[in-house]
A and B are shown apart, each in its own frame.
Chain A
Amino acid sequence: MPLVFLAVFFAWPVVALVVQGFFADDGAGGRALDLSGFAEVLGQPRTWRVVGQTLAQASVGTVLSVLLGLPGAYLLYRCRFPGRTLARGLVTVPFVLPTVVVGVAFRNLFTPSGPLGWLGWEESFAGVVVALVFFNYAVVVRTVGGLWERLDPRAEQAARALGATPWRAFRTVTLPALGPAIASAASVVFLFCSTAFGVVLVLGGMRYGTIETEIWIRTTQFLDLRAAAVLSVLQLVVVVAALLVSARLRTRRERALHLTSERSGAHLLDLRTARDAVPAAVTVAVVVGLVVFPLAGLVARSFRGPDGGWSFANYAALGTTGGRNALSVTVWEATANSLRIAATATLIAVVVGGLVVLVVSRRPRAPGLRRAVAGLDAVFMLPLGVSAVTVGFGFLITLDRPLGFDVDLRTSGLLVPIAQAVVAIPLVVRTMLPVLRAIDPRLREAAAVLGASPGRVLASVDLSLAARSLGLAVGFAFAVSLGEFGATSFLARPDAATLPVVIFRLIGQPGAENYGMALAASVVLAVLTATVMMVAERMRGDVGGEF
C-alpha cells in the first residue's frame, strides 16, 4: 500500500517530468526522443548562471554553517550551564520556521529602509547565503552536537596527559572523531541549500535565482514547461549526487557511533578559559545576530502602521484581501485552509509513513526479504532529497488524468495535501524508525510467549513504545505541511491558497499595506509552527530520532 502511494504520487510524476525533458511531441500525437530541449536550455548563458549560483550559494552556505555550527555544538552539547535547554531550543527555532517566514524576516532587514539596508544586500547573493546559514546552523549544531555529547572525553584527556596543548588535543583527537558527523551534517546542509526555494524566491527577487526558482519562473511566468522539465532533470542530478555522498557518510557515522561511550562528557562552562569563552562568544553572536535579531525585527516591524507608528493595523488587515484586492481570500481564510490542508496531509503522511516504519523495522529471517526491506527504506528517503518544487511540478504535469482514470486530481482538494504528505513522509519515517529499531526483538518474543497474538504484540509493544515518537512525527508532519511552499506554490488554487502562498503573493504586490500584511501574516505562521513544534518536542522526552 505505501509502495503504491509512493509510485503514484512520487515516482510517476518525477518520471513523467524526466520524460517531458527528453521527449518532444512529434506533431502526430505521439512522442519522439528529442534532445533539442536540452541543447536549447543548456545553450543559454542564463541556465549556466543559475546552475553556478546554485552551487556557489550551497557551497558557501555549507562552509559558513559548519564553521559557525561547530562552536555552537561544543557550547550546547559539551558544556553545562543554566539555560542550556532554552538555548538549544532557540537554536532549533530557525530549522522549523517556514521558509517564506524566514525570507520575509531577512527581506525586512535588508530593504533599503530596514535596519541593515545600508549593506545593500537586498536581492543579493550575500543576503540569500545569510538566510541559508540561519536555517542550517541548527542542522550542524544538532548533528555534530549529538555525537560530540556522547564522545568519550577520556581520549582527549589521554592526549592532554601525553603533553598535547588543548588545541592540539582537539585537532588531533576530537576533530577526527567528529569527522563523520561533520561530513554528514555538511552534506545534508548542502542538500538543503541547493534545493532552497522559498527563501531564494523571497530574498533573491528577479535578479538572483537558483535552479529551483528558475523552474518556478519558467513554469508560472513563461509557461515554458519543457525548459522547466530540463531544469528539473538538472536539479535531480545535483540532488542525487548530494544524496549519495550523504548516504555514504551516514553509514560511516553510524559505524563511528558504536565506538563512543554513553556517559556524558559535558563539563561546567568556564568563561575564564579561552576554550570555553571563544565558542561562547561566537555562539552568542550567532544566536543574537542571526536568530534573534531578524525575528525580533520581523515582529517589531509587523506592529508598525503605514504611518510608521506602533499599531495593530497590519493584523486588523488580515481579515481583508489586501490592498487593491491582491488576494482572492482573506489571510484568515488562508490560515484556515492551511490548517485544514495540514491536518489532511499529516493524516496521510503518518498513515503511510507508519506502515513503512512497521515494515522496515522488521528483520526478516530470509536474506532476500531482508534486502527488500533495506531497499524499501532507501526508496522512501528519496522524496527527502528530490526537491519539493520538482514534486509540485511533476504533479502539475501528470495528475490531470492519473493512471488513465478520468479524474482530474488537480481540481480536487486532495492534491495539495498529498504533495505535502510526500514531502513529510521521510521525516515521519526518520523520526519513528530509530525508536522501533531500538526495540529488542526479544521483547516481542516475550509478549508472544506470554500468549499475545501478533496483533496484540503490535499494539502492546511496538505502538506503546513508539507512541511518543508518533506524537513527535505528527508534530513534524504538521509543521512541515503548514510551512510547505515549494510544491504548494505550484498546486494551490487561488481560492484555496495556504498561508505561505498568500504571504508570498502579498510581498510581490506593491503597497506598504500589503507589505505590512505580509509581515503580520508571517508572524502568525511562525507562531502557529512554533506552537506545533513545541507541543511535539514536549512529547519527544528522551526518545531519540534523527532530527
Chain B
Amino acid sequence: MGGPRGLEVRDVVVRYGQRRGRTGTTAVDGVSLDVAAGEVLALLGPSGCGKSSLLRAVAGLEPVAGGAVTFDGSDLDGVPVHRRGFGLLFQDGQLFPHRDVAGNVGYGLADRPRAERTERVTELLSLVGLDGFGARPVAELSGGEKQRVALARSLAPRPRLLLLDEPLSALDRGLRERLAVEIRAVLHATGTTAVFVTHDHDEAFTVADRVAVMSAGRLLQVAPPEELWRAPASRTVAEFLGYQAFVPAPDGLLAVGPAGLRVEPGAAIDDGGEQRWPAVVVATTFRRGRSEVTVDVDLGAGEQRLVALADGSVPAVDDKVAVVLDRRGCAVVPA
C-alpha cells in the first residue's frame, strides 16, 4: 500500500422513515465515491437530492442502510460519531452558545494539555482571520464571523476528514463569495481532506478540486470543475450547471450555456458558414458590467425564452435581431 487512501464510499444507501412493512424514502440510492487524501471534493446538487444525507452518513449521524464507508482502508461500520476523527461544519455553525469563541474552538481539544490547547486555538483563530477574538461571547459575532469560528472549531482537532454541510448558504452573496475563497485557502494550507456540500455551482467550482453532481439520490458525474463545465456527462448535469437550451447536433446535443448566445447587430444577414437564428427582443438588463438580452427564439426545439449577450449596441424591446452561437460557451452532451 502507498500513502493514506482517504475516503471510500461504496454503494451507500440511506433511507428515512423506515418502519415495519414500509421501506420509507430513499435519500441516497447506491452512491460510490472516492476522496483522495488532501483532496477537496464538492458534492453538488439541488436541495433534496440526498447530498446532505450522504454527508451525515459519512459522519456517522445517519445509519447506512446498505453499502460501506471506509477511511484509510478501515470500515467505519459501527464506529460511533465521536471516534471517527472527522470534522463537520453545519450550515448555521451550531456554535455552543454558553461558551466564548476560544471555548468553542478548543472544545475538540479537551484531552490535550492546557498550553497546547491555548496555542492551537490562537493558531486557528489567526488562520481564519479572527486574531484576538478568543474571549468574545459567540452571540456578539456576525454571521460571517460565526462561520469562521465554526471552521476553526472543526479544524482544531486536525480531523482526518472535514465535512462541510452548505457552510455558506446562510450568508449574503458578497460574504459567501469571499468566504468560499478563504475556505479553499485554509483547506489547502492545512492539507485537509474535505467534502463540501453545496447547491451553488459557483461555490463548488471555487472551493473544490473535483465536483460530484448528485440528483435524486444518485451520483451523475464526478470531475474537476473545468472538465465538468466543458463536458457535462448528461443533459441533467448540464441543466443543473445552468445550460439554458439544447440544440440537436451531429454528435449528440449542443448545450447552450449562459454565455453561449450572442446578439448580432443587424437583422439576419447571412455572412456564410455561421448559423444564425431570427429572434425578438423581450427585455434587456445590465448585469455585472454587460448587457443581457432576453429573446424569444426557436433554435430547432420550439420557441424558447433565452438570454443572449450583446457586445455592441443594445437593441430595444420588440426589435427583430439575429442570434448566433458562441462555441466557447457551449458544450456537447450525449443525446
A→B interface (CB under 8 Å)? 365-368, 440, 442-443, 445-454, 456-457, 460-461, 464-465
Inside 8 A of B96's CB, which chain A residues have their CB?
Answer: 443, 446-447, 460-461, 464
Which residues of B78-106 are within 8 A (CB) of A? 80-88, 90, 94, 96-98
Q: How far is the CB of A504 from chain B (nearest CB, A)?
A: 44
Closest 9 CB pairs of A and B: A450-B108, A448-B81, A449-B88, A446-B94, A448-B82, A442-B94, A464-B98, A451-B82, A443-B94
A445 to B90, CA, bound (A): 10
Residue contact B97 to A452, C-beta cutoff 8 Å: no
Q: How far is the CB of B222 from chain A (nearest CB, A)?
A: 25
Q: How far is the CB of A456 from chain B (nearest CB, A)?
A: 7
Which residues of B173-196 are within 8 A (CB) of A? none
Show 25 A/B contacts (Cβ-Cβ < 8 Å), sorted by A. Answer: A365-B63, A440-B94, A442-B90, A445-B61, A445-B88, A445-B94, A446-B88, A446-B96, A447-B107, A448-B61, A449-B61, A449-B86, A449-B154, A450-B82, A450-B107, A450-B108, A450-B153, A450-B157, A451-B85, A451-B108, A452-B108, A453-B82, A454-B82, A464-B96, A465-B98
Inside 8 A of A446's CB, which chain B residues have their CB?
Answer: 88, 90, 94, 96
Inside 8 A of A442's CB, which chain B residues have their CB?
Answer: 90, 94
A142 to B107, CA, bound (A): 39
Inside 8 A of B63's CB, which chain A residues have their CB?
Answer: 365
Which residues of B181-239 are within 8 A (CB) of A? none
Give the residue name and chain of the B residue nearest to A446 (CB). Answer: B94
Residue contact A449 to B82, C-beta cutoff 8 Å: yes
Q: How far is the CB of A41 from chain B (nearest CB, A)?
A: 48
Indicate the size class of the contact surface on chain B.
20 to 34
Inside 8 A of A453's CB, which chain B residues have their CB?
Answer: 82
Which residues of B7-27 are within 8 A (CB) of A? 19
Residue contact A449 to B59, C-beta cutoff 8 Å: yes
Inside 8 A of B61's CB, which chain A residues have their CB?
Answer: 445, 448-449
With an 8 A cutoff between CB atoms, is B110 at the interface? Answer: yes
Inside 8 A of A366's CB, which chain B residues have their CB?
Answer: 19
Inside 8 A of A443's CB, which chain B residues have their CB?
Answer: 94, 96
A449 to B84, CA, bound (A): 8
Give the residue name and chain of the A residue nearest to B59 (CB). Answer: A449
Residue contact A465 to B86, C-beta cutoff 8 Å: no
Q: How far is the CB of A321 from chain B (nearest CB, A)?
A: 50
Inside 8 A of A465's CB, which chain B residues have their CB?
Answer: 97-98
Give the residue name and chain of the B residue nearest to A366 (CB). Answer: B19
A456 to B108, CA, bound (A): 11
Inside 8 A of B85's CB, which chain A residues have their CB?
Answer: 451
Residue contact B94 to A456, C-beta cutoff 8 Å: no
Bits for B108-134, please: 1 = Cβ < 8 Å to A, else 0. Answer: 101000000000000000000000000
Inside 8 A of B153's CB, which chain A residues have their CB?
Answer: 450
Inside 8 A of A449's CB, which chain B residues have their CB?
Answer: 59, 61, 81-82, 84, 86-88, 154, 163
Q: How far is the CB of A442 from chain B (nearest CB, A)?
A: 5
A454 to B81, CA, bound (A): 10
A447 to B110, CA, bound (A): 11
A366 to B18, CA, bound (A): 8
Q: How far is the CB of A458 from chain B (nearest CB, A)?
A: 12
Q: How far is the CB of A234 from chain B (nearest CB, A)?
A: 42
Q: How far is the CB of B161 from chain A (nearest CB, A)?
A: 11
Inside 8 A of A367's CB, which chain B residues have their CB?
Answer: 19
Give the residue name and chain of the A residue nearest to B94 (CB). Answer: A446
Q: How far is the CB of A412 from chain B (nearest CB, A)?
A: 41
A501 to B90, CA, bound (A): 56
Contact A451/B157 with A442-B94, A445-B88, A465-B98 known, Cβ cut-off 8 Å: yes
A452 to B94, CA, bound (A): 15
Give the residue name and chain of the B residue nearest to A447 (CB). Answer: B107
Inside 8 A of B83's CB, which chain A residues have their CB?
Answer: 451
Interface centre among B63, B80, B83, B110 (most CB of A within 10 A): B110
A176 to B88, CA, bound (A): 45
Inside 8 A of A368's CB, which chain B residues have their CB?
Answer: 19
A366 to B87, CA, bound (A): 26
A368 to B107, CA, bound (A): 34
Inside 8 A of A460's CB, which chain B residues have their CB?
Answer: 96, 107
A367 to B97, CA, bound (A): 31
Residue contact B154 to A450, C-beta cutoff 8 Å: yes
Interface centre among B63, B83, B88 (most CB of A within 10 A): B88
Give the residue name and chain of the B residue nearest to A457 (CB). Answer: B82
Q: How far is the CB of A451 from chain B (nearest CB, A)?
A: 5
Give the residue name and chain of the A residue nearest to B156 (CB). Answer: A450
Q: How far is the CB of B127 from chain A (nearest CB, A)?
A: 17
A189 to B61, CA, bound (A): 44
Residue contact B19 to A445, C-beta cutoff 8 Å: no
12 other A-B residue contacts (CB within 8 Å) besides A449-B86, A450-B108: A443-B96, A445-B81, A446-B88, A446-B90, A446-B96, A447-B96, A448-B82, A450-B157, A454-B82, A460-B107, A464-B96, A464-B98
Residue contact A450 to B87, C-beta cutoff 8 Å: yes
A446 to B138, CA, bound (A): 15
Inside 8 A of B82's CB, which chain A residues have their CB?
Answer: 448-454, 457
Bits for B20-64, please: 1 = Cβ < 8 Å to A, else 0. Answer: 000000000000000000000000000000000000000101010
Inside 8 A of B80's CB, which chain A residues have their CB?
Answer: 448
Give the residue name and chain of the A residue nearest to B81 (CB). Answer: A448
Q: How far is the CB of A39 from chain B (nearest CB, A)?
A: 48
Q: How far is the CB of B61 from chain A (nearest CB, A)?
A: 5
Give the residue name and chain of the B residue nearest to A449 (CB). Answer: B88
Residue contact B110 to A456, C-beta cutoff 8 Å: yes
Give the residue name and chain of the A residue nearest to B17 (CB). Answer: A367
Inside 8 A of A454's CB, which chain B residues have their CB?
Answer: 82
A445 to B88, CA, bound (A): 9
Q: How far is the CB of A105 from chain B (nearest CB, A)?
A: 41
Give the residue name and chain of the B residue nearest to A443 (CB). Answer: B94
Q: How far is the CB of A121 from chain B (nearest CB, A)?
A: 52
Inside 8 A of A464's CB, which chain B residues have their CB?
Answer: 96, 98
Q: How far is the CB of A447 from chain B (nearest CB, A)?
A: 7
A368 to B18, CA, bound (A): 11
Give the residue name and chain of the A residue nearest to B19 (CB). Answer: A367
Q: How far is the CB of B180 from chain A (nearest CB, A)?
A: 21
Which residues of B58-80 are within 8 A (CB) of A? 59, 61, 63, 80
A366 to B24, CA, bound (A): 12
A464 to B243, CA, bound (A): 50
A442 to B84, CA, bound (A): 17
Which residues of B148-167 are within 8 A (CB) of A? 153-154, 157, 163
Give the residue name and chain of the B residue nearest to A365 (CB). Answer: B63
Residue contact B59 to A452, C-beta cutoff 8 Å: no
A452 to B109, CA, bound (A): 10
A452 to B83, CA, bound (A): 8
Give the residue name and chain of the A residue nearest to B88 (CB). Answer: A449
A465 to B97, CA, bound (A): 8
Interface centre among A366, A368, A443, A456 (most CB of B within 10 A): A443
A443 to B92, CA, bound (A): 10
Q: How far is the CB of B27 from chain A (nearest CB, A)?
A: 14
Inside 8 A of A461's CB, which chain B residues have their CB?
Answer: 96
A368 to B20, CA, bound (A): 10
A451 to B160, CA, bound (A): 12
Q: How far is the CB of A432 from chain B (nearest CB, A)?
A: 16
Inside 8 A of B87's CB, which chain A residues have their CB?
Answer: 449-450
Q: How far is the CB of A148 from chain B (nearest CB, A)?
A: 27
A457 to B107, CA, bound (A): 11
Give the residue name and chain of the A residue nearest to B93 (CB). Answer: A446
Q: How far is the CB of B52 from chain A (nearest CB, A)?
A: 11
Interface centre among A443, A448, A461 (most CB of B within 10 A): A448
Q: How far is the CB of A453 from chain B (nearest CB, A)?
A: 6
Q: How far is the CB of A327 from chain B (nearest CB, A)?
A: 48
Inside 8 A of B154's CB, which chain A residues have their CB?
Answer: 449-450
Residue contact A452 to B107, C-beta cutoff 8 Å: yes
